[in-house]
Structure 1
């Protein structure tokens, strides 16, 4: 009887251990667990963005030159920062990015090649530079300006594939989607349509709903006063702005040109504009408002805050 009980106890213990192991194996991974990338298995890889030539990378790039401020922000956000050896003069975020005097529009292949890169990321306007680098067998990934959030998500994922950080890139996109969806969902809907003016420069260059930043305002159902002018970045006159009388004014020229809500209020005739009269002139970070990288979540939050405040006086 004693032997039988001992055998039964051993069998029960073994069963409990088996159930525990299989339970752990079938349990979903915690959402807080950082994604793990295996660069060795990710290469060679062929990546491409819409409208530009594909790029084939035989192995994970270890020396990346980024000539796009948006790409620079993205590289660091997906964990590829330690592969970046040089960035352009406008890449001011994050602070630790190795800024140089390089510029995508003026740099030549020799200057960029001097960094000994095994991958260069540049705006799609730098096609001549790309041709020069191709001649010396340096792969160049050109990045078109995003027209929508979907374009942003696609670029982040492609940069992840190109650098060996595909899992981290997808995780970043998932967080951004979730954050933006929640911000928009939680923002009170105005009882009446609200109009806005987005100022890029003090001489009244602006962005319409056809632009990337315009698509962000569109998430909240706002009406762009510049749309009748056509195009993406028209220039409006004082008379056009005053006549449109926007409910909200967003200033994306606070860093470049030191424009403030107080300065806007001092413009001749602008004191009668609804946005000025009610105190709904919103200063933005120029860089956040002009890029389409991970910090677009901050822009969405800023617009949400402005819409919410405007509904409470």
Structure 2
């Protein structure tokens, strides 16, 4: 199933990014947009005018900081913004020859699958490795890295600051609770979820929520993406359910309510099932603000 594969790839991305809370890439070597610039292993002697993005999050970031006109091709999963030049290129099964055919002067990837960095390096194509963010600061750092490489450092800094300000405002607008609410975050209907140690978990932690998936991966051996059993989930009795599989897999409050054995869950009984936009929930760029707002709205509706 594609959603299970996505969950597995998300876990793989965490491994590829290395240990710790950072993004796995080096800090920009220089300030401003003067060239040459170096970020990670990518060194550019001049402003890139043919960028290929093989990561939906990077695609959204590039367009948000004003580098959209420099992007000549994006992968088949980069569906936002609408004007992004979507192609058949794949970030899951990258093809060095197909990428090189775009004559890129910069390629942005989130996973080094099939040793694509090495393959593109052999073709003298600069690559920025921007792995999946683990915390909000990783997203801000990647905005800065992309801004540095593309000549849009000021725009990326301004966007990051707006995001910080908006998120802080949203979180502070939700009154603190005497007793923490619990939640279940669904990646797909086979009950794959994300623990508090993931980026998604860090967003929900902003509101002091308790993640019912945490006991399913206590030692992190599942990289924060365990598959829950229905019995354990029903027993956990979450106050809120968030569906990140509404677009991909047709899940909705109605389908959840129809699941056998789920009627006793508090979130189901009280109609506290939130269908998220799958893309916003899995692309940790500028639209993180929208995700934070969705969580805030759901929490605010629960009586204290």
Cα distance, 1:261 vs. partner? 0.3
CA contact (8 A) 2:93 2:114 kept: no
2:116 equivalent among 124, 129, 141: 129
Match of 2:257 among 265, 268, 271: 265
Matching residue within 272, 282, 291 for 1:290: 282
C-alpha deviations, 1:113-158, integer Å up to 9, x for none? Answer: 0001000001133361121111111101111111000111001110
Q: What is the TM-score normalised by the length of structure 2?
A: 0.86
> Deviation per CA, 1:234-273, whole angstroms, max 9, x where unpaired?
0001101100000000000000000010110011111110
Structure of greater Rg: 1
Residue in 1 aligned with 2:300?
A: 308
Tell whether the 8 Å contact from 1:40 to 1:59 is kept in structure 2 after alignment: no
Counterparts of 1:303 and 1:218, CA distance in 2 = 10
Structure 2 runs not aligned, ≥5 long:
1-30
Map of 1:49-68 to 2, 5 A cutoff? 54-68=41-55
Answer yes or no: is the 8 Å Cα contact 1:190–1:311 preserved in 2: no
Deviations 1:60-96 (A, max 9, x none): 0000000000000000000000000000000000011
Bigger CA drift: 167-176 or 137-146?
137-146
Determine the C-alpha separation between the residues in 2 that align with 1:151 and 1:268. 40
**Cα deviation, residue 193, structure 1:** 1.2
| CA RMSD, Structure 1 to Structure 2 (Å) | 1.4
Tell me, yes or no, if structure 1 residue 143 matches structure 2 residue 130: yes
Quote the Cα distance in structure 2 between the aligned partners of 1:56 and 1:124.
19
Matched, 1:246 2:238: yes
After TM superposition, give the deviation of residue 290 of structure 1 in Å.
1.0
Q: Stretches of 4+ moved more than 2 A in 1?
A: 124-127
Higher relative contact order (CA 8 A, sep 6+): 2
Q: Does 1:113 align with 2:100?
A: yes
Deviation at 1:192, TM superposition (A): 1.3
Unaligned runs of 5+ residues in structure 1 are 1-38, 49-53
TM-score (norm 1): 0.84
Q: What residue in structure 2 maps to residue 211 of structure 1?
A: 198
Query: Within 1, Cα distance between the matches of 2:52 and 2:303?
Result: 45
Counterpart secondary structure, 1:256? helix
